[in-house]
Amino acid sequence: MQTVKMSATALRAIMGEAFDGDMYERGRQEAREFFKKYPEKREAKIEEIKRNLEYGVIRGYFGPSYWIGCLCESDFTW
């Protein structure tokens, strides 16, 4: 299987009409809260988010827009 690396912004762009802005914002907000509450778990959570996107692991009703929002927030939250 061939894979490519791309930024969260690029992933968002290629989703086109399938992109869900509300779920993206929810992902950003929940990731921000998690990173602030558990800074020691930040790196492990980012790796989990990347795996979810890379392998299409979507839990419950969270879709790719949610996980892209989480990933985007990781760039801004330290």
Q: Which of 26-30, 36-40, 50-54, 56-60 is the least confident region?
A: 56-60
Write down the H helix ranges in 5-63.
8-15, 21-37, 42-55
Per-chain mean pLDDT for the chain: 89
pLDDT of residue 7: 87
The Cα-based distances of 71 to 1, 9, 52, 74 in angstroms read 23, 9, 10, 5
Determine the residue type at 23: M
Query: Could you read off the pLDDT of 19-48 as tens digits, one per residue?
Result: 999 999 999 999 999 999 999 999 999 999
Length of the chain: 78
Q: Which among 7, 22, 29 has a CA at the least distance from the CA of 65?
A: 22
Structure tokens at 19: 């992109």
* Residue 62 pLDDT greater than 70, yes or no: yes
